[in-house]
Amino acid sequence: MTTLSDLNSGDAAAFVETLRGIYEHSPWIAERAAGRRPFASAAALKLALQDAVATASTDEQLGLIRAHPELAGKAALAGALTRESTHEQAGAGLHLCSEAEYAQLQQLNADYNARFGFPFILAVKGPDGKGLTRQAIIETFARRLRHQRADEMAECLRQIHRIAELRLDALLALPTDIGAAVMQWAATIGAWSEQDDGLTCSYMTDVHRRTAAQLARWMEQAGMQVHIDTVGNVVGRYLSPDAGARTLVTGSHYDTVRDGGHYDGRLGILLPIAVVRHLHERGERLPYHLEVVGFAEEEGVRFKSTFLGSTALTGHFDLAQLDQRDADGVSMRAALAATGHDPAAIPALARRPEDLLGFVEVHIEQGPVLLERGLPLGVVTAIAGSSRYLVALTGLASHAGTTPMGMRRDAAAAAAEIVLMVERRCGAVPALVGTVGQLQVPGGSVNVIPGACTLSLDIRAADDAVRLAAVADVLAAIDDICARRQVEARVEATVSASAAPCAPWMMDQLGQAILRAGLPRFDLASGAGHDAMAMARVTDVAMLFVRCGNGGISHNRLETMTGDDAQIAGEVLLDFLRRFAPAR
C-alpha cells in the first residue's frame, strides 16, 4: 500500500510514476505538483494537483479533458481504456447498456462533441463513490448539454478532479468512515417524502416524525442520551465525565423545502452524529457536554413560520404562531397535540446562556463560491440579514388594442421596471443581493393591459447598514417608478431579520482546524438564513460551510456534495471539538 509518507519522501520521478494513473494520460500534473512536497495531508496533495490544473494554460486544460474517453464510446467497445477508466465505467454498469441506452449515449456523445469540441466527463462513481445509475448518467448528460461552453469546460475539470480524488482515495487507502456514514444516512432519510417524486419533509407530518425517530436511533447508537422535545427537536447529548461541565451545541434542521435536496440542514445533524460515533467507539470523552440537535423546523413550509426548533431553544418561540394554519386548515397547535406534543411546555425548552459554551453549525454552502475556488470547506463570517416585502401594484386594466402606449397605466410594466431596478441597485454592491422571486398578474388576459400586479422583494446582506441603505433606495425608486407610470403601490413588510455575525474566537478555532487539515482557510458570508441566526440570541455562534456541487444548486433535487467533502469536514469538526477552548 502506498502512503503519503512514501509520496513525500521519494524522488520526483517516483512521485510522478506512482501517480501516473490518477489523471488520465497527463503526468505533467504530478510533475508540477511534486515541487510542493511535503504534503501535510492527503487533502493538501489533492489541492496541489488541482492547482496544477488550475494554473495550466487553456490548451493544456483542453488536452487533459480530451485525454479522457467517451462514456460507453468506441474506446470502451474496443477495450482501449486505461485500467482505471475500464473499472469505473464497468462499475457504473456502462458495459451492460441496453441497445436503446447505448444508442442514446452515442447520440449524446455526438451532440456534446459537436457543441463543445471535447468529450463529456463525469465521475461515474458518483458523490458517494458507489456508482451512478445509467439513468442518472444519461439525465446528467442531457442536462449539461444545455450549459455554455465555458461553464461546461469548468464542470469537466471539476469532474476530472473528482475522478482523481477517488483514485487517490483507493491508492492511499484513505479513511472514509465519517463521509460514508453521512452519505448513506442522508440517502436513507432522503428516500422518505410526502410526495412520490422528490423530497419534501414538512413540520409534524408522518414523514417528519419518521425522520425524527430515525435520527434519534442513530444518536443512541452513537452513544448519546436522546430525547425528542415538545416542539419536535431531536436532542442527543454526549456527556462529559464532568457532570457540572457546560455544553457546546451543534446541529441544524431536518425539515426540507418542497422538492428539496438531501443535505440542506441534514448534513449539520448527520455529520456530528458520525463524529460522536467516532469518539464513542474509541471511548473518548470531551471536557464539556456536546449536544447535537436536529431542529424540527427551519424552512417554514407548512405553517409559514420559520426557525420553530431553534427559537424554542433560545426562549424566543412566539406562542401566537400556534394558531397559524396550514393549507388544510390544521393549526400548528392541533398538529402538535395530534402527535403527542404539549404546546404549553414549549417555553420550558429555553436554554440558559450561562450553561452554553457556544453553537457551531455545519451546513452545505448552498452556493457556488467554494466550488469555484476548488475548496471543500469555508469559515462563515456572518449570516446575512434579510428584508422582505410584498408589493401590490394597481394600475388600470384597459383594452390592449385601443389604448395608446403613452396613455397606459400598466401595472406589469411597472413591475418589470422594478425588477430591473432591484437588479441594478443590488448588483452594484459586493455581497448585497436582491431578488424578486414571485411575480403575478391576477386574472391576466392576453388582450388586456394588466391593471394589477403583485411581486415579492427580498434584499440580503451580511452588513445591516448595507442592506438597509439598499432597502431605502429600492423603496424610494418604487415610489418614483409608480408615480411616473400613474400606478399605485402598496408595500407590506413581511420579514426584517438582522445579520448575525459569527464569533471571531470560534471562527479562528475552525480556521485553525482547517489549516491543520492541510487546507487554506477561506472566509465567506452566508446569504442564506440558518438556525445559527436564532442561536446567536443566546450564545456565540460559528458555521463551517461544506462545498455544494452541481454549480452550487440548493433547495433543489439536484443539490449534491461528495463523501470526500463530508469526510474532511468530519475530520475538521472532530479536530475542532478535541481542541475546543472556551472563550475567556
353: cis peptide before it, omega within 30°?
no
The residue among 544, 553, 538, 529 whose CA lies nearest residue 306 is 529
The residue among 345, 276, 346 whose CA lies nearest residue 311 is 346
Task: State the pLDDT at residue 73.
Answer: 67
Q: Are 449 and 408 spatial neighbours (Cβ–Cβ below 8 Å)?
A: yes
Task: State the pLDDT at residue 97.
Answer: 84
List of long-range contacts for 401-408, beta carbons under 8 Å, 24+ apart: 401/447, 403/449, 408/449
Query: Is CATH 3.30.70.250 correct for 4-172?
Result: no
Q: Are 27 and 52 spatial neighbours (Cβ–Cβ below 8 Å)?
A: no
Task: State the pLDDT at residue 79.
Answer: 65
Asked whether the whole model's pTM tops 0.85, one would answer yes
CB count, 10 Å around CB of 175? 14
Residue type (1 letter), 40:
A
26: left (phi over 0), alpha (psi -120 to 50) or beta: beta
Q: Are 524 and 370 spatial neighbours (Cβ–Cβ below 8 Å)?
A: yes
Partnered with residue 457 across adjacent β-strands are: 389
Q: Are 567 and 378 spatial neighbours (Cβ–Cβ below 8 Å)?
A: no
d(CA 483, CA 357): 53
Grid cell for residue 380: 462563515
Partnered with residue 392 across adjacent β-strands are: 454, 490
d(CA 79, CA 546): 38
d(CA 166, CA 162): 6
d(CA 471, CA 280): 49
| Angle (CA) 332 296 273, round 5° | 165
The second-level CATH assignment, the architecture, of 385-497 is 2-Layer Sandwich (3.30)
| CATH code, 178-382+500-579 | 3.40.630.10
Whose cell is 393591459? That residue is: 449
Domain layout of the chain by residue ranges:
4-172, 178-382+500-579, 385-497
Q: Are 563 and 169 spatial neighbours (Cβ–Cβ below 8 Å)?
A: no
Per-residue pLDDT of the chain (584 residues; tens, 9 = 90+): 899 999 999 999 999 999 999 999 999 999 999 999 999 999 999 999 999 999 999 999 999 999 998 887 666 665 666 777 777 777 777 777 888 988 999 999 999 999 999 999 999 999 999 999 999 999 999 999 999 999 999 999 999 999 999 999 999 999 999 999 999 999 999 999 999 999 999 999 999 999 999 999 999 999 999 999 999 999 999 999 999 999 999 999 999 999 999 999 999 999 999 999 999 999 999 999 999 999 999 999 999 888 999 999 999 999 999 999 999 999 999 999 999 999 999 999 999 999 999 999 999 999 999 999 999 999 999 999 999 999 999 999 999 999 999 999 999 999 999 999 999 999 999 989 999 999 999 999 999 999 999 999 999 999 999 999 999 999 999 999 999 999 999 999 988 889 999 999 999 999 999 999 999 999 999 999 999 999 999 999 999 999 999 999 999 999 999 999 999 999 999 999 999 999 98
Task: State the pLDDT at residue 76.
Answer: 63
Task: State the pLDDT at residue 74.
Answer: 64
